[in-house]
Copies of this chain bind each other. A is one copy, B any other.
Amino acid sequence: MSAIPEDFIQKTAQLSDDVTRPFPSSKKTYVTGSREDLRVPMREVECTPTHTEQGEELNPPIYIYDTSGPYTDPQVTIDLRQGLAEVRANWIAERDDTELLDGPTSEYGRQRQDDPELAHLRFEHIRQPRRAKAGKNVTQMHYARQGIITPEMEYIAIRENNKLQEMRGDPRYAKLLRQHAGESFGASIPEEITPEFVRDEVARGRAIIPANINHPELEPMIIGRNFRTKVNTNIGNSAVTSSIEEEVEKMVWSARWGGDTLMDLSTGKNIHETREWILRNAPMPIGTVPIYQALEKVDGKAEDLTWEIFRDTLIEQAEQGVDYFTIHAGVLLRYVPLTAERLTGIVSRGGSIMAKWCLAHHTESFLYTHFDEICEIMKAYDVSFSLGDGLRPGCIADANDAAQFAELETLGELTQKAWEHDCQVMIEGPGHVPLHKVKENVEKELADCYEAPFYTLGPLVTDIAPAYDHITSGIGAANIGWYGTAMLCYVTPKEHLGLPNKQDVRDGIITYKIAAHASDLAKGFPGTQVRDNALSKARFEFRWEDQFNLSLDPDRAREFHDETMPKEAHKVA
């Protein structure tokens, strides 16, 4: 008998219909790779024929890169209490370089496991955690550098190509494949993404595959400037609001609208348990900022943080399956005074925690001094680094200043160090930057951090529009993506004002899908324009339903149309 109360099960077992409903006129298809258990999901959108004077012209289906996971597959029975199927289980086991542990090896993980009062919140089917065998390194970068193409890499190649080669061989797509030559500012985007290309990019550190061995439910994806531009979303409960089931629902909601990765920024109670529910049901990589949880463990007093507490938190989360950690190891003591004359000082939460710690102890932070030990942990589970920009500008005035760029150079130094361990690394970036200063951020990041993937928040190109910061930042995001940023961290309309609700999350994601797609079009990523072309053709031919179905948000497009032109006649005119 379950220890979990009935009402909690009721709530968590079910998702609301609007997060799982398949998209209109769409079906889930899978492309099988070199092995039966390598099945890459895509969304296939059916189109209606065009009626011409010469008869019917058939419009072929359009394939959409699918982040929604098993939730939109009517063949899959979703039970959040069971978690998702383990896509990667065999791949990890076959490599035979990991071992199953008896239980969590972190002190905190064991405490939570043994606390009977948490039974009613706990995910029921917690697996034994897995860890690299002694002396083994289980990062995708390590395999790549050995010349090994993992199933994850093959999966990604198929996923990124999105059936482009098949379309090229099919005359029905000839006109739809027309695409402008791009301007990619020195990126090296091939005409076809091969598994070997994926391996090579990961080996040289230009791309990462966040894929913890304890997150086998993951559908592998890649972050790198020679691949599709990705979008990260954030969720997180706080002391103020929301529960476990709300957070899980938000995660699925994020996947639905196109979130490629998701950061769980929870700071409230039971974040360990919440994280477990999220991970077991997450088809996308999950990131966290471990210092947030570490701070809770010392009751919010930054100066009481220690390496030991932080280390235990890393292991706790790595054994749950977190795929990437934001670590603000670049906040050096000597950089803190550089922020004194700023208009808005240090606005990164992680940055200000570490600055406070450094000043209190008058020494470099344990994140910096213990960086090699952090790498040892990361490579035992394949957690990727997301090196945090703790000194990012909090306003237009502070953009591209000495503090920001000093930290960026240190992140470059740490990138080299992590790479010596074959650890995967991406670099976080700002923030608030006027339009003409955006490019410099990418150029400096590529130079200082040796082309490690850049992962930026926005940037917002003006400070004067709270309540519309998804838009102010979406402008910056489209530009920075074009210049070479690999992943864009979304911003919702509630940024600076409050906590986003479901509609805010949707608005934020769609805005960032627009930015990412605009970047890919501008860079000339092969096949990107097919969807634009198909939708525009539908629009020109008044095939309203096809126009809606091919859009980023079919529901809202249809709803807006029906508000003023409600008649079916208008849709088939």
Q: Which residues of A contact B (CB under 8 A)?
A: 175, 178-180, 182-183, 240-241, 343-345, 347, 394-397, 399, 432, 434-437, 461-468, 470-472, 474-475, 478-479, 482, 493-494, 496-499, 501, 510-511, 513-515, 517-519, 521-524, 529, 531-533, 535-537, 539-540, 547-548, 550-553, 556-557, 559-561, 563-565
Are B540 and A344 in contact (CB-based, < 8 A)? yes
Residues of B within 8 A of A467 (CB): 551, 553, 556-557, 559-560
Known: A494-B564, A533-B397. A343 touches B466 (CB 8 A): no
Known: A343-B175, A396-B532, A539-B344. A563 touches B498 (CB 8 A): yes
Residues of B within 8 A of A551 (CB): 464-467
Are B436 and A482 in contact (CB-based, < 8 A)? yes
A and B contact pairs by CB, cutoff 8 A, 7 listed:
A179-B397, A397-B532, A436-B521, A475-B478, A497-B565, A498-B564, A501-B563
Residues of B within 8 A of A517 (CB): 462, 464
Are A518 and B475 in contact (CB-based, < 8 A)? yes
Are A241 and B514 in contact (CB-based, < 8 A)? no
Residues of B within 8 A of A435 (CB): 478-479, 482, 518-519, 521-522
User: Given the complex of chains A and B, what is the CA–CA distance between A501 and B564 in angstroms?
Assistant: 9
Considering the complex, give the chain B residue whose CB is closest to the CB of A481: B435
User: Given the complex of chains A and B, what is the CA–CA distance between A65 and B122 in angstroms?
Assistant: 56
- A-B pairs, top 3 by smallest CB distance, nearest first, are A395-B536, A498-B564, A435-B522
Considering the complex, give the chain B residue whose CB is closest to the CB of A475: B478
Q: Which of B344, B475, B496 contacts A475 (CB 8 A)?
A: B475
Q: Which of B241, B344, B436, B468 contacts A510 (CB 8 A)?
A: B468
Known: A180-B437, A475-B478. A521 touches B553 (CB 8 A): no
Residues of B within 8 A of A539 (CB): 344, 395, 463, 466, 496
User: Given the complex of chains A and B, what is the CA–CA distance between A556 and B564 in angstroms?
Assistant: 25
Residues of B within 8 A of A464 (CB): 514, 517, 531-532, 535, 550-552
